[in-house]
Amino acid sequence: MFKELEALEKEFPQFKEKNSPTVKVGSTSSKKFEDYTHKTRLYSLDNTYSYEELEKWYEKIKADFPNRKELEVVCELKIDGLAVALTYENSELTVGATRGDGVTGENITANLKTVKTIPKHLTSDGISLEARGEIYMPKSAFEQLNKRQADSRQKLFANPRNAAAGSLRQQNPEITAERELAMFTYAGILNNPEVKTHEETLLYLKKMGFNLNPNFRKCKNIQEAIEYCKHWDKARYDLDYATDGVVIKINELAIQNELGFTSRAPRWATAFKFPPEEMSTTLLDIEINVGRTGAVTPVAVLEPVFISGSTVSRATLHNFDEIKRLDINIGDRVLIKKAAEIIPKVITVMKKGSRQSGAFEAPEKCPFCGSTLVPAEGEVNLYCPNTLGCPAQLKGRVEYWASNDCMDIEGLGESIIAQLVDKELIKSPADLYSLTVDDLMTLDLIARKSAQNLYNSIQASKHPPLARFINALGIRHVGKEMSEILAKKFLTFENLKHASAEDILEIEGAGEKIAGSVLDFFKNSYNNEVLQKLEANSVIPEELKREEGKDTFAGLTFVITGTLSKPRDSFEKIIKQHGGKVSSSVSKKTAYVLLGEAPGSKFDKARELGVKIINEKEFDDLLGEN
Ligand code: IVH
């Protein structure tokens, strides 16, 4: 399309727009949110990296106030998240915005309103103030989120900070609400003459309903502040959130005012940055790990070292290109780091080992099942295409297999699956269907009645809709939506199995990546064995029939907002059954916005764009007319 546009512009220069993508440098960033100009600028902080520097900073300030023997400071943990400013008018939260460049940020009020630790109303009436703080994602929530991302074969976040940023910049606040975000409030513009110190500001904010980080401390002098830094440099690893330093702030607001700001940071505060810990150790081995979704990653096996609060004996090497880049091999002395990221990483080779065996080569076969590994289209990684039979993938695959959007097997959860795999009762999802009640009785903590129930629900799952069956197979890049599209296009599983790359490429939205992975999947002989076993166990998906006269909504995109009389799913189903599409955001292309009670911002957007808004009755009428 870009090339076509270039050619057209050459031929018809009179129609070339000044903002054409062909003249812009870099990405044509689609601005997702509205700009918000901060009432008072948000500053950054100067950093200090040693206790000496910290003392110097303090002594310099003290020199300006010779009649003071000591100056109190407040120490707070520096939270590694995203700064936001919240405006309250008459005790109501009116605007929540990102820091941006300090002058202008993005208005993300709807998303911030979903954060539980942000008060929507203050605890006292008639108050106007601005609160500032850091939005973060707890480490535990980050791990859970990445687990869910992996299970649904979506991109993983590198660290909690990126996950928090991604969650805040969602178009749909419902997704933000599902992410476990929280806020620590660390500053306020109160316009309250009774509040005379930073400590009082914090306590006032707390009284108004804000969440403070409980670990702040008032210190009499810089020595106490240094003790605080030393303590948290070690203790930080026990916290459920990431912190990369300590912020030290002069307590008295009158002194803060006198000191003022440089062009980018306050003179009355500084950040002491914790050192990222690095350690050297010996690389004992390079293990090949196959993840729950088949991704192959090399893992460094290390002589154990204590680093950043825990003993490390393994570190990720990411992929085989990284091994080449580092020129790393077994026996080398390597440098390990565990900084903001939670997973330790090999940074560099310090001293090469004997290297008798030459350069380290990527394996050709999966160490767990022997399948020939294949490169993932557009990625540096290799993956094991034996989706259904590879033991390394089995637990994850079966969990996915049993989930609601797949075979929907009630009562088949993570711990039961783990037991079934560990006791070798199943070697693939197909084996689920030959399990007997007696087999299930051998599992821990399962009584006859629940074994019988589980047996029944496994048996009851044998004839799912085709789309759910395709989804259950876990074909790379084929998720819930694409499974529905494939089912609609091919109507039977047999048709899909024999589809050519061209057949798949005919589908709008399916590119080489999807065609390639569907073909790889059906090429793998182990997968085919499992498919045969499924059929032998009479696991047969329903076939689709082309329904005539049911394309009332063909080519129409709906957006649903607010609460309706039935769950949203059921409306989505009706729309899709009648050939329509459902989208989560309103654009000019939206045909109808189906409006329920208490609608969200989509309603305003629809009005702004002049999109047709209908209620449930009108929706039924549309259906009925046809
Ligand atoms: S005070 C004018 N306190 O650090 C002083 N900042 O590098 C502004 N941060 O943008 C900030 N924890 O996002 C302050 N307890 C804390 C903090 C904190 C994290 C962040 C904040 C700011 C950045 C500056």
Q: What is the pLDDT of residue 31?
A: 64
CA–centroid distance, residue 189 to ligand 1 (Å): 14
Under CATH, which number does the domain 557-625 receive? 3.40.50.10190
- The answer to whether 230 is a known catalytic residue is no
Q: What is the 3-state secondary structure (H, E, C) of 322-368?
A: HHHHHCCCCCCEEEEEECCCCCCEEEEEEECCCCCCCCCCCCCECCC
Lowest average pLDDT, out of 21-25, 83-87, 617-621, goes to: 21-25
Q: What is the pLDDT of residue 84?
A: 97
Tally of CB atoms within 10 A around 538: 10
Question: What angle separates helix 222-235 from helix 51-64, to the nearest 10 degrees?
Answer: 150
Which atom of ligand 1 approaches the CA of 77 most closely? 15
The CATH topology of domain 43-273 is D-amino Acid Aminotransferase; Chain A, domain 1 (3.30.470)
Classify domain 278-383 at the CATH superfamily level. Answer: Nucleic acid-binding proteins (2.40.50.140)
Q: What is the pLDDT of residue 5?
A: 86
Percent of the chain topping pLDDT 90: 63
- Each residue's pLDDT tens digit, 114-158: 999 999 999 999 999 999 999 999 999 998 998 898 888 788 887
Q: What is the pLDDT of residue 28?
A: 32
Q: How far apart are CA 534 and CA 446, in angstroms?
A: 25
Q: How far apart are CA 150 and CA 144, in angstroms?
A: 10
Question: What angle separates helix 160-168 from helix 139-151, to the nearest 10 degrees?
Answer: 70
188-215 burial code (b ≥16 CB/10 A, e <16): bebeeeebebbbbbbebbeebbbbbbeb
CA–centroid distance, residue 626 to ligand 1 (Å): 59
pTM of the full structure: 0.53
Residue 602, SS3 per DSSP: helix
Q: Exposed/middle/buried for 160, CB within 10 Å: 0-12, 13-18, 19+?
A: buried
Angstrom distances, CA of residue 319 to CA of 188, 300, 363, 445: 45, 11, 12, 40
Query: Region 339-366: what's the mean pLDDT?
Result: 81
CA–centroid distance, residue 45 to ligand 1 (Å): 7
Please report, to the nearest 10 degrees, the dihedral formed by the alpha carbons of residues 618, 620, 622, 625 taken in order: -120
Which comes out higher in pLDDT, residue 519 or 275? Answer: 519
Angstrom distances, CA of residue 246 to CA of 335, 476, 494: 26, 43, 61
Q: Which of 237, 391, 210 is nearest to 310 (CA)?
A: 237
What backbone torsions phi and psi does residue 200 show, to the nearest 5 degrees?
-65, -35
| Lookup: tokens for 302 | 């290390």
Lowest average pLDDT, out of 25-39, 109-123, 338-352, 518-532, goes to: 25-39
Protein residue whose Cα sits closest to atom 12 of ligand 1: 78
What are the percentages of helix, strand and coil residues in the chain, rounded to 5? 35, 20, 40
Pocket test for ligand 1, best of 41, 42, 44, 78 (most atoms within 8 A of CB): 78
- Which contiguous run of DSSP H or E holds residue 493? helix 493-497
Q: What is the pLDDT of residue 546?
A: 64
Domains 391-460 and 466-536 share a fold: yes
Residues in the chain: 626
Lowest average pLDDT, out of 375-384, 463-472, 548-557, goes to: 548-557
The answer to whether the beta carbons of residues 245 and 276 sit under 8 Å apart is no
Q: Is the pLDDT of residue 286 over 50?
A: yes
Protein residue whose Cα sits closest to atom 17 of ligand 1: 78
Residue 312, SS3 per DSSP: strand
- Each residue's pLDDT tens digit, 73-108: 999 999 999 999 999 999 999 999 999 989 999 999
Contacts of 318 (CB under 8 A, 6+ apart): 297, 298
Which atom of ligand 1 approaches the CA of 76 most closely? 15
In the predicted model, what is the mean pLDDT of the chain? 90
DSSP 269: E
Pocket test for ligand 1, best of 38, 76, 134, 256 (most atoms within 8 A of CB): 134
Nearest 5°: the CA angle 321, 322, 328 is: 110
Angstrom distances, CA of residue 574 to CA of 61, 232, 547, 550, 619: 68, 56, 13, 10, 11
| Lookup: tokens for 237 | 């690893």
Q: How far apart are CA 516 and CA 520, in angstroms?
A: 6
The answer to whether the beta carbons of residues 432 and 458 sit under 8 Å apart is yes
Protein residue whose Cα sits closest to atom 18 of ligand 1: 78
Q: Is the pLDDT of residue 342 over 90?
A: no
- Each residue's pLDDT tens digit, 109-121: 999 999 999 999 9
Nearest 5°: the CA angle 478, 483, 486 is: 110
- Which contiguous run of DSSP H or E holds residue 84? strand 82-89
| Lookup: tokens for 439 | 């087999």
Is CATH 1.10.1200.10 the classification given to domain 391-460? Answer: no
Q: Is the pLDDT of residue 538 over 50?
A: yes
Q: Which of 251, 206, 204, 261 is nearest to 42 (CA)?
A: 261
Catalytic one among 31, 56, 78, 338? Answer: 78
Amino acid type, 52: E
| Lookup: tokens for 4 | 């076509």
- Each residue's pLDDT tens digit, 250-269: 999 999 999 999 888 999 99
Ligand 1 pocket by Cβ (under 6 Å): 43-45, 76, 78-79, 83, 99, 134, 186-187, 247, 266, 269, 271
Q: Is the pLDDT of residue 25 over 60?
A: no
DSSP 433: G
Q: How confident is the model at residue 29 (pLDDT cuts 50, 70, 90)?
A: very low
Q: How confident is the model at residue 309 (pLDDT cuts 50, 70, 90)?
A: low
N-terminal to C-terminal alpha carbon distance within the chain: 38
Angstrom distances, CA of residue 119 to CA of 87, 92, 473, 475: 11, 9, 44, 43
DSSP 304: E
Q: What is the pLDDT of residue 27?
A: 32
Q: What is the 3-state secondary structure (H, E, C) of 435-489?
A: CCHHHHHCCCCCCHHHHHHHHHHHHHCCCCCHHHHHHHCCCCCCCHHHHHHHHHH
Give how far the C-alpha of residue 130 lies from the chain's centroid of Cα atoms, to the nearest Å: 29
Name the residue ranges covered by the structural domains of the chain. 43-273, 278-383, 391-460, 466-536, 557-625
CA–centroid distance, residue 253 to ligand 1 (Å): 17
Contacts of 111 (CB under 8 A, 6+ apart): 96, 168, 169, 170, 173, 176
Beta bridge partners of 248: 75, 270
Q: Which of 380, 381, 317, 382 is nearest to 344 (CA)?
A: 317
- Each residue's pLDDT tens digit, 406-425: 999 999 998 899 999 999 99
Lowest average pLDDT, out of 70-84, 119-133, 211-225, 375-389, goes to: 375-389
Give how far the C-alpha of residue 62 lies from the chain's centroid of Cα atoms, to the nearest Å: 45
CA–centroid distance, residue 82 to ligand 1 (Å): 9
Q: What is the pLDDT of residue 548?
A: 57
Percent of the chain topping pLDDT 70: 96
Lowest average pLDDT, out of 7-16, 219-228, 334-343, 350-359, goes to: 334-343
Lowest average pLDDT, out of 272-286, 302-316, 483-497, 587-601, goes to: 302-316
Q: How confident is the model at residue 547 (pLDDT cuts 50, 70, 90)?
A: low
Beta bridge partners of 310: 307
Lowest average pLDDT, out of 95-104, 226-235, 343-352, goes to: 343-352
Beta bridge partners of 37: 104
The CATH topology of domain 466-536 is DNA polymerase; domain 1 (1.10.150)
| Lookup: tokens for 146 | 């990445």
Q: What is the pLDDT of residue 26?
A: 38
